[in-house]
Chains A and B, each alone.
Chain A
Amino acid sequence: MLAYQANPQISSFFAIDVAACAKTGPAPKSLKVDAHMPEHRHGMNYAPKVTALGPGRWRAEGLMLHMPGKWEFVFVVDGERMAHALQLSEGVRFSEPERQRILAHGPWPPSARRDPSNRVSGRPAAIALGERLFFEPRLSGSGSILCASCHVPFRAFQDGRARGFGLEEVERNTPSLFNVGLYRWYGWDGGHDSLWSQSIRPLLDAREMHATSAHVAATVRKHYSTEYESAFGRQPPASDEELLVDAGKALAAYQETLVSGRTPFDRFRDAMERADVEEMKTYPLAAQRGLKIFAGKGNCSVCHFGALFANGEFADVGVPFFVAPGKVDPGRAHGLEVLRKSRFNLLGRYNDDAARSTATGTRHVEPQHRNFGEWRVPSLRNVARTAPYMHNGSLATLRDVVKHYSELNEERLHADGEKILRRLDLSEAESEDLVTFLESLSQEPAARRE
């Protein structure tokens, strides 16, 4: 009798543990192990080395099955030959924890949801007004900058620059607006807790659109009075600030509709859920291997969690944050100050939800020393279309991002900080696989490789 244990995967070396016993008499003394493909009339390219572990027990190391298909393990025990067939599937094997993490990345798209803090969220007339305002340069103080100047629709609603540039260059990368309706915090530093309050920020920032509440209100009154009345069911109010907030809410209603499409990964994930092996095989093997790293040893899916591939919180992943000699961008530490001081936060009078049901985070968030230099974990949906990367656009390509984590400078992380952040030390092939997986998170048609 013979039993063996192995976990072969295509083109990966593996070991096989074998136990054999005779029907009668003492345990067998010798074992040879080989594997071949009967239909291809060839075997492995490597000769395994067998080591005895005890009476009737051996370990063979150095096996590698270099292509998918029907293989046979061949065991020769004290001269007696035994063959065991196995089908080596083209897919990558995922452990149950990995499978659970992968399934948590969907389904996609999520069902539409309204923002209770915004009374016009989901209202068609407000979405239409928001879209008009999004492309309206007269909202800016100079009359020359529109939201879409930085959030360019054909660039996945970002600008392709390392750092944003409205009227002047700012310190941070312009994030994509895809799926912003699903966020908890807004801005790289989370200085805002709703999409509508975040939408007000660049209007008033001197380096971006450099408007005032009076200017925005006057523009809406003069050019969008009818559309405003359709969206809000009343005439524009006399208060400039109130009208500024409503402009932010219309802009938010429009941006909530910017949901990214389904991706090759989504098809794989759904096939995995319904155990559709044939459909799973259509997902490139390299992407599957990259996904295994992402959900497995890379621990990427701990922070890039769920259907959005983002846990909605903040992290220090060792990216330097000097912006000029003697000047730093403090990230989340500054964002919390902004949030608490803002008249437009969810604890304020402009929240349309009397129950404050989405204000829990704002009410309970507590500054921590680690916030200094933390940045919001970005969503990875459409990530191949949103280069450059990180809060300051300091990494040009996805390969650079993978290299950053593979060669993570642990000296920049506190000894008692996030324990999962450790050098991944990925091989070149593994890095390529991870990049291929990340590219598969872009809505079809697939993004081009750089």
Chain B
Amino acid sequence: MRTALALCFILWGSLAHGQPLPIFDAHLHYSHDAWESVPVADVIAILRKAGVRRALVSSSGDDGQQRLYAAAPDLVIPELRPYRMRGEIGTWFRDESVIPYLEERLRKYRYAGIGEFHLYGADADLPVPRRMVELARRHKLFLHAHSDADAIERLFRQWPQARILWAHAGFEQPEVVADMLSKHRNLWADLAFRTDHGSSGKVDEAWRGVFLRFPDRFMVGTDTFTPERWHYVPGHAEWSRAWLSSLPHEVAERIAWKNGEALFGSAASQD
């Protein structure tokens, strides 16, 4: 009986306004190793089936999300990743050739941001990341940083007006995330690949306080870091709707899709 009641509660929360909560998935990759095993048409079908309203997609290399964007410009918002191959995660920030690559892509295509990139601590102040930040400033782009709090601080010191989407909320504890959001008005966080904020269809109490305090600063995301994980997008959307249903509906809507739409939606509609 308890299980049935819980299920009813979840469904009621998800369908409170008649339809499953739309999802803005803020953390997707369509990298080179996925292009054959999960063709563009399959990706678009998966996203639509999952009820994803829009998707912030980056890939290594950049052709991936350009193919998706060409197929579904209403759905896909491209980000420019400073990796040509996924293996560059740990080397890109010392690789001078990254900058001409970014410049060439920025001349050719339109993006909502630069990222997701992996950058920790003092590496953020190396010449290549500095020049990347300068490019973001020049092109008025978001930075999508998979970083610790130290690197986030350094990025803001380089460009105090930067707008940063903090990937995985830095895998930090809720109180640290709250401190960072309080300190930086232009910092947002995605909750990809973490489960500590929601389990068994219920939001964690410590996180609840942070979500209620900063309802306009969070987004959800699946993180398709291997090709197979594209098939997890629907399951992740359902899982997200479940824990979001234990928040006030307006807050749940913001985190589920409205925050992403407000920040990045205009980038999708320009074309």
Contact = CB atoms under 8 A, between A and B. Distances in A.
Whether chains A and B associate is yes
B168 A372 contact: no
Contacts of A411: 33, 85-87, 89
A322 B37 contact: yes
Nearest to A327: B231
Nearest to A320: B228
Given A333-B235, A372-B232, A366 B226 contact: no
Interface stretch (B68-76, B100-108, B180-188, B194-202): B194-202
A94 interface: no
A363 to B, nearest CB: 12
Nearest to B192: A369
Interface in B81-116: 85-87, 89
B89 A412 contact: no
A321 B228 contact: yes
B9 interface: no
B119 to A, nearest CB: 11
B241 interface: no
A450 interface: no
B144 to A, nearest CB: 14
Contact of A369 (B33, B38, B171, B236): B236
A168 interface: no
B146 A415 contact: yes
Contacts of A328: 228, 231
B interface residue count range (under 10 / 10 to 19 / 20 to 34 / 35 or more) = 20 to 34
Given A412-B226, A414-B225, A369 B195 contact: yes
A373 B225 CA distance: 12
A368 interface: yes
Interface in B208-234: 223, 225-229, 231-232
Interface string A344-369: 00000000000000000000001111
A34 to B, nearest CB: 43
A381 B227 CA distance: 33
B229 A372 contact: yes
A298 B194 CA distance: 28
A330 B195 CA distance: 17
Contact of B193 (A322, A326, A333, A414): A414
Interface string B167-178: 010010000000
Contacts of A279: none
B226 A410 contact: no
A370 B236 CA distance: 11
Interface string A383-416: 0000000000000000000000000001110111
B150 interface: no
A224 B49 CA distance: 50
B226 A373 contact: yes
Contacts of A415: 89, 118, 146, 225
A412 B42 CA distance: 20
Given A411-B33, A415-B89, A415-B118, A369 B193 contact: yes
Contact of B228 (A369, A373, A414): A373
A330 B87 contact: no
Contact of B200 (A325, A366, A368): A366
A412 B225 CA distance: 7
Contacts of B228: 320-322, 328, 372-373
A369 B200 CA distance: 13
A421 to B, nearest CB: 14
Contacts of A366: 195, 199-200
A225 B42 CA distance: 54
B235 A372 contact: yes
A314 to B, nearest CB: 15
Nearest to B231: A328
Contacts of A370: 193
A416 B232 contact: no
Interface in B137-177: 146, 168, 171
Contacts of A326: 38, 42
A366 B242 CA distance: 14
Nearest to A411: B86
A320 B36 CA distance: 14
A372 B48 CA distance: 21
Given A326-B42, A366-B199, A373-B228, A414 B235 contact: no
Contacts of A327: 231
Given A366-B199, A366-B200, A415-B89, A330 B194 contact: no
Give 6 closest A-B pairs by Cβ, nearest first: A411-B86, A328-B228, A328-B231, A372-B232, A368-B195, A369-B193
21 contacts: A320-B226, A322-B37, A325-B37, A326-B38, A328-B231, A330-B231, A333-B232, A333-B235, A367-B195, A368-B195, A369-B194, A369-B232, A369-B236, A372-B229, A372-B232, A373-B226, A373-B229, A411-B33, A411-B87, A412-B226, A416-B193
